[in-house]
Structure 1
Amino acid sequence: MASEQAKHPVRGAIVLITGAARGMGELYARRAVAGGAAAVALWDIDADAAARLAAELSESGVTVRPYGVDVSSLAAIQRAMKKVRRDLGAPTVLINNAGIVRGAPFWEHDPVRDIEGTIAVNTLAAMWLTREVLPDMIADDSRPQRILNIASAAGTLANPNMSVYAASKWAMIGWSESVRLELERVGHRHIAVTTFCPSYISTGMFAGARGPLLTPIMTPEKATRAAWRGMLRGTPIVMRPWTVKLAAALRGVLPTRAWDAVAGRVFKVYSSMDEFTGRGAR
């Protein structure tokens, strides 16, 4: 049984997903149910949408519970975690998927709605929730446990009109990788942390954005498949498509002005958000 669970960490797991009511969050939930999870907790600020999805997925026989949670609030996260532990038990798979994006020059960002709101949802929420979940994960080494943090290619490269979003994802990557190393260093190898860094995905969140050269807009299905596979394997960092890794490598070796020329004129990275419209906060 132990070797079987090592191959399939989701089988028999208690899975918690944020931003779970639609888009990639919904797809992760469907994968959790199909993968044999014992129970799935759907967290979303849209409680009604989470409830509808939970009702549908529960028909499979898996226990799926919806929770209306504003993850930008530490108090709300702590209250919801108490309910999850009472209803389902301690999560053994955590997917930090909730996110928002604001696309504009930095000086046009509202300090509270755009700056504070983006950092709270995209960065602090994952930190707060993981801090709530990790003690139970550390204490239970009877099965493999997983944390999947959804970052972004924007966290690897600067980009005009993405200053705050990029900052939130840079922080996500640095924090996620550091936690992974800390867990490995002290021997908690039953917990694997995976950071997913995708380019633009056609969920509607980045409506109007254009993929850079050789970087097509990914479908949510393709993106979640890559992230899910990496999470199961315990892969530290998953970058998709391949051009994300190429761009990060070039940025690391080229002088800044040379990279600016390549990114701006050749790959068109710096103009990818020029026609961004988005769909607003989730």
Structure 2
Amino acid sequence: MQSVAGRKVLITGAAMGMGKIYARLAVREGAAAVILWDINQAELEKTAAELKAAGGAVHPYLVDVSKLEAITEAAAKVRAEVGDPEILFNNAGVVRGKYFWEHHAVKDIAFTMSINAMAPMYIAREFLPAMIASRGSEQRMVNIASAAGLIANPRMSVYCASKWSCTGWSDSVRLELEQAGHAHVRVTTVNPTYISTGMFEGAKTMLFTPILTPQYVTDRVWAAMKVGRPRLIMPWTVYVSSALRGLLPVRLFDWVARYVFRVYGTMDTFSGHGPGHGAGHEP
């Protein structure tokens, strides 16, 4: 895929942060429709106005992706008013940074899992059948997971659970599409470390692992989407830590992660769960 020109692109969490950057890229390349899903009405309106002023065919929808009924209703509207998207970015997300026993069952656990783990599945289920049926052109689905979906970390138990779920589901769907002969639909699973969007305010850096900038991440994700790359892990240190996790005994890896890579202390100074990525109203 050389560009998204003439294609319909849907982005969740599109009003701010990386979602907004993806939307700008879609407008810049001449997408036929840029469909914005977000829960923040004020920011959604600002982003839509900016993109329309830049010449984009923009379609904003106020959607709470923490709720299945909201996803179902919004998807029906998109199909009726715009048509099925050919490129889907499951970008919306939230984070909680505290010990597991400090999580509230509904406000923290259910909320995080509904947005980070369940919403991508529900949204994909709405649009994937049409992607499969559209054999005349390349289709793309990008699922933004996390390096926390590969490596466990203290004070991130529920977030890790949600991103491990997203990682396993996303890569399994990729394999299912290939096995079923739907090679024109390509799935990219993205596993980055901390990004300076505000979600991880106060998180510490790891060995040789700076806090990534949104522009750096979105540029790489956009390129990976076009070529249909199966997995994008960044930076390179995540590959190393993942390999060591598979090779070393658990206690030895724990020591390396804690004292060498300094992974296990990154959330010690976490200062809040941040604004999230246009996901949903907290219960």
- Normalised by the shorter chain, which TM-score bucket? over 0.9
- Of residues 245, 248, 251 in structure 1, which corresponds to 2:242? 248
Matched letter for residue 236 of structure 2:
W
2:2 paired with 1:7: yes
**Cα separation, 1, equivalents of 2:30 and 2:256:** 46
What TM-score, normalized by structure 1, do the two folds share? 0.96
Q: Which amino acid aligns with 1:266?
A: V
Residue 36 of structure 1 corresponds to 30
Instruction: Pick one of 262, 270, 277 that aligns with 1:276.
Output: 270
Asked whether the equivalents of residues 198 and 275 of structure 2 are also in contact (C-alpha less than 8 Å), the reply is no
Structure 1: stretches of 5+ with no match in the other structure: 1-5
Candidates 145, 155, 168, aligned match of 2:149? 155
- Preserved CA contact (<8 Å) 1:103 1:273: yes
Q: Could you tell me how far apart the structure 1 residues matched to 2:114 and 2:198 are?
A: 21
- What is the match of residue 74 of structure 1? 68
Structure 1 position 164 matched with structure 2 position 164 = no
CA RMSD of aligned residues (A): 0.9
Match of 1:178 in 2: 172
Matched pairs, number? 276
Structure 2: which 5+ runs fail to align? 279-283
Task: Report the Cα offset of residue 234 of structure 1.
Answer: 0.5
For 1:129 and 1:48, locate their aligned partners in 2 and report how far apart those are by CA, in whole Å: 23
Aligned to 1:106: 100
Match of 1:226 among 220, 225, 250: 220
Q: Is the 8 A contact 1:47 1:69 kept in 2?
A: no
Q: 1:204 aligns with which of 177, 183, 198?
A: 198
Counterpart Cα distance in 2 of 1:273 and 1:78: 35
Residues 74-105 of structure 1, C-alpha deviations (whole Å, 9 max, x = no match) = 10001101111122111000000000000000
Contact 1:47 1:66 survives alignment (8 Å): no
Matches of 1:17 and 1:78, distance apart in 2: 15
The residue type paired with residue 255 of structure 1 is P
* Distance in structure 1 (CA, Å) of the matches to 2:142 and 2:253: 30
Deviation digits for residues 115-137 of structure 1, max 9, x if unmatched?
Answer: 00000000100000000001110
Structure 1 CA distance, aligned partners of 2:139 and 2:123? 15
* Cα drift, residue 62 of structure 1: 2.3
Q: Give the Cα separation in 1 of the matches to 2:241 and 2:191.
A: 12
**Structure 1 residue 86 corresponds to structure 2 residue 65:** no
SS in 2 for 1:271: coil
Letter in 1 for 2:24: R
Partner of 1:260: 254
Structure 1 segments of 4 or more deviating over 6 A? none
CA contact (8 A) 2:12 2:37 kept: yes
* 1:193 corresponds to 2:187: yes
Hey, what's the Cα distance between the residues in 1 that align with 2:239 and 2:29? 29
Instruction: Supply the distance in 2 between the matched residues of 1:157 and 1:280 (Cα, whole angstroms).
Output: 23
Partner of 2:281: none
What pairs up with 1:53-68 in 2 under 5 angstroms?
53-68=47-62
Q: Which has the higher contact order (CA 8 A, sep 6+)?
A: 2
Report the Cα distance in structure 1 between the residues aligned to 2:139 and 2:158, rounded to whole angstroms.
31
The share of aligned pairs that are identical, in percent, is: 55
